[in-house]
């Protein structure tokens, strides 16, 4: 987190995580320009990454991979082809944008 914060010191970063135990640590130091956002449990519909994964999985439908490495390459290729505009259109829900605007973030 420290390296990420230092790489983009002039920006505020909101990182949404699910409530998996692997996403929490008492030893993790969060910089002032990072906000960790934890949605309510069992609410994937409010997690933008879920819509992005749905978009990725559509492109993988009906393809049988011979190895995990083949799957990794396929997912990597899909991610490389996604434009920022497309990612924003899939993940930038109005309620998220409006909330950030109201919060002056």
Per residue in 48-105, pLDDT (tens digit) is 888 899 999 999 998 999 999 999 999 999 999 999 999 988 887 777 777 777 777 6
pLDDT at res. 36: 83
What are the residue boundaries of the structural domains of the chain, listed by start? Answer: 1-38, 43-105
pLDDT of residue 1: 79
Q: Evaluate whether 17 touches 38 at the Cβ level (below 8 Å).
A: yes
Q: What is the mean pLDDT of residues 6-34?
A: 80
Q: Pick 40 or 11 by higher pLDDT.
A: 11
Question: What is the C-alpha separation between 46 and 40, in angstroms, rounded?
Answer: 9
For the ranges 12-21, 40-49, 73-82, the maximum mean pLDDT occurs at 73-82
């Amino acid at each position: 987190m420290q390296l990420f914060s230092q790489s983009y010191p002039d920006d505020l970063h909101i990182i949404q995580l699910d409530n998996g135990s692997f996403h929490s640590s008492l030893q993790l130091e969060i910089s002032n320009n990072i906000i960790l956002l934890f949605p309510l449990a069992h609410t994937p519909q409010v997690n933008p990454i879920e819509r992005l994964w749905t978009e990725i999985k559509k492109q993988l439908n009906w393809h049988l991979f011979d190895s995990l490495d083949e799957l990794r390459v396929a997912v990597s290729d899909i991610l490389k082809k996604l434009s920022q505009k497309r990612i924003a259109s899939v993940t930038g829900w109005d309620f998220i944008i409006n909330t950030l605007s109201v919060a002056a973030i």
